[in-house]
Amino acid sequence: MNATNKIYGDVDTYLDNSGDSSKAVSAASITLSSSNTSKITADAGAASLAAGFGAGGGISGSVGVSLARNTVDNDTRAYINQVSQISSGAVSLNAATDNTVKAVSVAASVAAAGGAGGGISLSGAGAEANNEITGTAAAYINSSTLGTSASTVGQVDVKASNTSSAEATVAAVSAAVGGGAGGGVGISVGAAFAYNNIGTSGDRLIVRSYVDNSEIYSSGTLTTDARSTMNITAGVGAGSMAIAAGAGGLSLSGSGVSVNNKVYGDVDSYIANSTQITAAGIAVKAYSKSVIKATAGAASLSASFAPIGFTASIAVSKISNLVDINMDSDIRNSTITSNGALTVEADANDDVTTTGVATAVALGLAWLAPVWMWTVRLTAISMLKCGTLH
């Protein structure tokens, strides 16, 4: 089973006189608002069953695979560009993006074989969920003049926000049973994988609000505000069981889970290269919050019930998390006159919680000779948080 979903969207609202920058705009108030909301809910499941029985013996093999892959890439913009003169009351620019991706991927496989001559049973189950969210949310005033010293505009708000959530639930279960008078072989493997990316190393999620190369004369406050909220939740589990019985027994069982969560983002709010910015108060703010919650569990059981037997079991659990946020909140190369408070803020909050469990059990019962048993349990958790704050 393979479920693939993709959303690509561009939403823009703007005043753009780049074709003739001498044109002016006059209005009682100006509101430019862009809202971009996307949601993907994907459920993928696969199940497989195989059985082989006969007087001479039996052989069976079963494989179940489930894949869920989701992509959202949205650009949202609200802007004023190259307008030589704007006469207005309040001016409001707002670009808001809201992305939600939820994926469930489940795979199950069962194989059984038996007969007087013996039985060989092979089973494998694999499940994967891959979620990726990228895009840009931007609100800005570029190369434009709002008001004059003699005739000001009202309050000016330039705000951009992005709220993105990726959730993956993945499970894989496999069981193999082989037996017979002549002996039995049971081999089972279960594996589950989750990949959640909000932004990538080559395509970072961008949230940006700014005033660049402009003049603003405002009787109210001027605010540039960029904020991002990014949430990742991953729950992954895999189970495997192999049982062999007969005159001789060989049982091998393995289960593994891997969770990879990554956040790459640039959050910028600034005033730059502007000849004159005058307002009753000026605030430049950037805010970012990233939350990752990851849980991974792997369980493996192998058992041999034979006079002579070998049984081995291995379980592996791995979790890797990365948060890489660059934040920039500043005023540069500009003439600023604030008749009230001047505030420049950058605030980043990251919260990463992980739980990883791996359990492997090998059981052997023999009445003529020893049963060789081998178990391995491995849990690996890595967390890397990095970024810059200006």
335 has pLDDT over 70: yes
The predicted pLDDT at position 55 comes to 63
pLDDT in tens, 120-130: 888 899 999 99
Q: How far apart are CA 254 and CA 238, in angstroms?
A: 9
Q: Could you tell me what percent of the chain has a pLDDT over 90?
A: 63
Q: How far apart are CA 202 and CA 200, in angstroms?
A: 5
| Beta strand pairing call for 308-332 and 248-272 | parallel
The predicted pLDDT at position 59 comes to 79
Q: Which domain holds residue 169?
A: 2-389
Q: How far apart are CA 287 and CA 267, in angstroms?
A: 7
pLDDT in tens, 155-195: 999 999 999 999 999 999 988 887 766 677 888 899 999 99
Q: How far apart are CA 359 and CA 302, in angstroms?
A: 12
- At residue 314 the predicted structure's pLDDT band, cuts being 50, 70 and 90, is confident
116 has pLDDT over 80: no
Q: Quick check: 200 and 136 in contact, CB under 8 A?
A: no
Q: What are 269's strand-pairing partners?
A: 209, 329
pLDDT in tens, 218-269: 999 999 999 999 999 999 999 988 887 766 677 888 888 999 999 999 999 9
The predicted pLDDT at position 131 comes to 97
**Residue with the larger pLDDT of the pair 1 and 39:** 39
**Residue with the larger pLDDT of the pair 191 and 375:** 191
Overall domain count for the chain: 1
144 φ, ψ (degrees, to nearest 5): -140, 160
pLDDT in tens, 2-37: 889 999 999 999 999 988 878 899 999 999 999 999
Lowest-confidence pick of 86-100, 183-197, 334-348: 183-197
Altogether, the residues listed in the chain come to a count of: 390
Q: Which amino acid is at 329?
A: S
Structure tokens at 5: 């979903």
Q: How far is CA 13 from CA 30, 95, 140, in A?
A: 12, 9, 11
> Look-up: residue for tokens 């956040």?
263
The predicted pLDDT at position 338 comes to 96
pLDDT in tens, 269-307: 999 999 999 999 999 999 999 999 999 998 888 887 767
> Look-up: residue for tokens 């992954």?
236
Residues 70-90: what's their mean pLDDT? 96
- At residue 115 the predicted structure's pLDDT band, cuts being 50, 70 and 90, is low
The predicted pLDDT at position 287 comes to 97
Question: DSSP secondary-structure letter at 339?
Answer: S
The predicted pLDDT at position 178 comes to 77
Q: How far apart are CA 6 and CA 72, in angstroms?
A: 6
